[in-house]
Chains A and B, each alone.
Chain A
Amino acid sequence: MIITNSNLKIHNYYKWLQRNLFSSWINSFLTIIALIFLYKVGTFFLNWTFFEADFRYNFQGDLITDRILCSKNIVPGEYGACWAIIFVRWDQFIYGFYPTEELWRVNLTFALLPLAIVGVLFDKIPFRKYFIYFTFIFPFFAYYMLYGGPGFTVVDTNKWGGLLVTLFLGVTGIALAFPLSVFLALGRRSKMPIIKSICIMFIEFIRGVPLITLLFTANVMLPLFLPDGVSPDNLLRALVAVTLFQSAYMAEAIRGGLQAIPKGQLEAAQSLGLGYWQTNRKIILPQALKIAIPPIVNTCIGLFKDTSLVLIIGLFDLLGIGRAALADMTWTKLYYEVYVFISIVFFIFCFGMSRYSLYLEKKLKTDNS
């Protein structure tokens, strides 16, 4: 018999199935049960989300402006999700209560954000140096764009909301926490007892307290530490809490990386006459951070999701906006649509970070061999 290439492939495929899914009666039984389960859940989800769902118009072709116009509310049991709530309130989900005529400023900032991050994430892109320069300019640019200043109307942060607040807290929190966490991690390993104990106390205190407590504390206590009449806005208070929280976790991830560097590296640097900061900057940190990136990304994923807790101090992040939408009498009871949408948005960002972390792990393995 002549075995062609495609024959061989099919043969291999068949072998794989037999070996992994149908190797015994029990295995075959479980495989079939699992397939049935996947089929049921999958078809239900796809029908509900796409095939039987309303997007902007219901089955009669009317534009949905109220939940009573949703197909599933006209013919109960026949139709799936009613995504009209997302479409109608899209601007709120993304920008909060940001003035409509100024939305382009947010859009521009969103559009430039990837350019600001790409230089940090990937080390082998062309013109990386310029991307890194841009990374340092971007925060000032973003502040000017989002908040306003000379030439632009000031948009107070209580008008910010939705994905804008979520991304602002996530990205800024991570960016500010990073340098702080490097100092905390170094401080925790310092030979100077006072610095060491301050860092340990800070890290252990923050890690021992739930983020919600920190958010409440920042909200209530921060004004007490500031002179009378100075009242930082709510978003800034939340940012302080989020940054401190993240820095403690990141510091521990970095400390893990520092511990993995052999003592000989430090000794070699010292014997060449390099000082403490030079040794850390040139020798220890570049190696330690590389090792610590996967756990750092892990803490970032955690933080990004935790930003949704700010709704309890009255900020309208993505989740807060969703809940506000549900409180609207026109759209009330469309819980599934709102929460599924919010989950999908969070998932996209967190999954992205997770894939990036995996990519790095693979890259590190090949780099070090």
Chain B
Amino acid sequence: MSLEQVIQLEKVNKWYDDFHVLKDIDLSVGKGQRIVICGPSGSGKSTMIRCINRLEAHQEGKIVVHGTELTNDLKNIDLIRKNVGMVFQQFNLFPHLSVLDNISLAPIWVKKMPKKEAEEIAMTYLEKVKIPEQAEKFPGQLSGGQQQRVAIARSLAMNPDIMLFDEPTSALDPEMIKEVLDVMVQLAEEGMTMLVVTHEMGFAKTVADQMIFMDEGRIIEQATPDEFFNDPKSDRTKLFLSQILNH
């Protein structure tokens, strides 16, 4: 591959006390790649992407983002978090702040941007996720789908190069999933590097250029969507796909 490598994981291991969550994870993500990660619950997929912006610390191995290795050095962690956006299953919007303040907070406090400029940027991203009219509302007044779109706008306002999505549609009512996926597809089309943990296989087929299947803390299979869906190599993947596609 001639792509510039933006994320590299080498022999990453992680334990929760005695429980071995990540086992010898090797992964390399090129600039602009869209990687969809799936697998049964408890397989370590969320933990893996949460290690990439150090919401969780790994104990062994090496994680390098944009040439900066993640260690206990707080400077490196800050540097990486500024360039890596994250969207959570539970949205995690700040309920005491308006939508506009939710989005402009980090640009103002982390990037030291003037308030006015930050709010203009916030409005741009709200338009991008198609809810500029909700700017003055509070998160509690929005639907789940709207909240998740605000959460995406909030991450994008920091102008990250990489976006991590941790089951962004799992907490949504079915009729709201599409509005969130549409925003994500649009983002993919614009060339954003994305790591997405999801069970939305339709989305995976449309945007992914790599599929990863994880089970019991290991990467079992990594392939292009075409191979992955039509000709999976491992039995575990086949079983998982049959369960998830026929439910």
Is B229 an interface residue, CB under 8 A from the partner? no
Q: For residue B181, which residues in chain A have a CB less than 8 angstroms away from its CB?
A: none
| A265 CA to B84 CA, complexed, in Å | 17
| A268 CA to B105 CA, complexed, in Å | 12
| A267 CA to B86 CA, complexed, in Å | 9
Is A7 an interface residue, CB under 8 A from the partner? no
| A271 CA to B93 CA, complexed, in Å | 12
Is A273 an interface residue, CB under 8 A from the partner? yes
Interface positions of A (Cβ within 8 A of B): 262, 264-265, 267-275, 278, 282-283, 286-287, 290, 368-369
Candidates A269, A278, A286; contact of B96 at CB < 8 Å: A286
Q: How far is the CB of B99 from chain A (nearest CB, A)?
A: 14
CB-CB under 8 A for A274 and B93, given A264-B88, A282-B105, A368-B140? no
Closest B-chain residue to A265, C-beta based? B92
| A368 CA to B141 CA, complexed, in Å | 10
Q: How far is the CB of A232 from chain B (nearest CB, A)?
A: 40
CB-CB under 8 A for A264 and B92, given A272-B154, A274-B109, A368-B140? yes
Task: With A264-B90, A268-B154, A273-B82 given, name 18 new contacts (CB 8 A).
Answer: A264-B88, A267-B92, A268-B86, A268-B92, A268-B94, A270-B81, A271-B81, A271-B84, A272-B155, A273-B78, A273-B106, A273-B110, A273-B158, A278-B109, A287-B94, A287-B96, A368-B95, A368-B140
| A368 CA to B140 CA, complexed, in Å | 8
Q: For residue B109, which residues in chain A have a CB less than 8 angstroms away from its CB?
A: 274, 278, 282
Contact A272 B106 (CB under 8 A): yes
Contact A271 B85 (CB under 8 A): yes
Contact A265 B94 (CB under 8 A): yes
Q: How far is the CB of A64 from chain B (nearest CB, A)?
A: 58
Q: For residue A273, which residues in chain B have a CB less than 8 angstroms away from its CB?
A: 78, 81-82, 106, 110, 158
Q: How far is the CB of B186 from chain A (nearest CB, A)?
A: 21
Q: For residue A265, which residues in chain B have a CB less than 8 angstroms away from its CB?
A: 92, 94
Q: For residue B82, which residues in chain A have a CB less than 8 angstroms away from its CB?
A: 273
Closest B-chain residue to A278, C-beta based? B109
Q: How far is the CB of B120 from chain A (nearest CB, A)?
A: 18
CB-CB under 8 A for A272 and B88, given A265-B94, A283-B94, A368-B140? no
| A275 CA to B53 CA, complexed, in Å | 14
Contact A272 B105 (CB under 8 A): yes
Contact B53 A271 (CB under 8 A): yes
Is B245 an interface residue, CB under 8 A from the partner? no
Is B55 an interface residue, CB under 8 A from the partner? yes
Q: For residue A282, which residues in chain B have a CB less than 8 angstroms away from its CB?
A: 105, 109
Contact B78 A271 (CB under 8 A): no
8 contacts between A and B (CB under 8 A): A262-B90, A265-B92, A267-B86, A267-B92, A268-B88, A272-B155, A282-B105, A369-B140
| A278 CA to B158 CA, complexed, in Å | 16
Q: How far is the CB of A193 from chain B (nearest CB, A)?
A: 15
Q: Mark B99-117, 1 if CB is under 8 A from A, else 0.
A: 0000001100110000000
| A278 CA to B107 CA, complexed, in Å | 12
Q: Which interface residue of A270, A271, A278 has the most chain B CB atoms within 10 A? A: A271
| A224 CA to B105 CA, complexed, in Å | 48
CB-CB under 8 A for A274 and B90, given A267-B55, A286-B96? no
Q: Which interface residue of B90, B94, B140 has the most chain A CB atoms within 10 A? A: B94
Q: For residue A270, which residues in chain B have a CB less than 8 angstroms away from its CB?
A: 53, 55, 81
Closest A-chain residue to B105, C-beta based? A282
Q: For residue A287, which residues in chain B have a CB less than 8 angstroms away from its CB?
A: 94-96
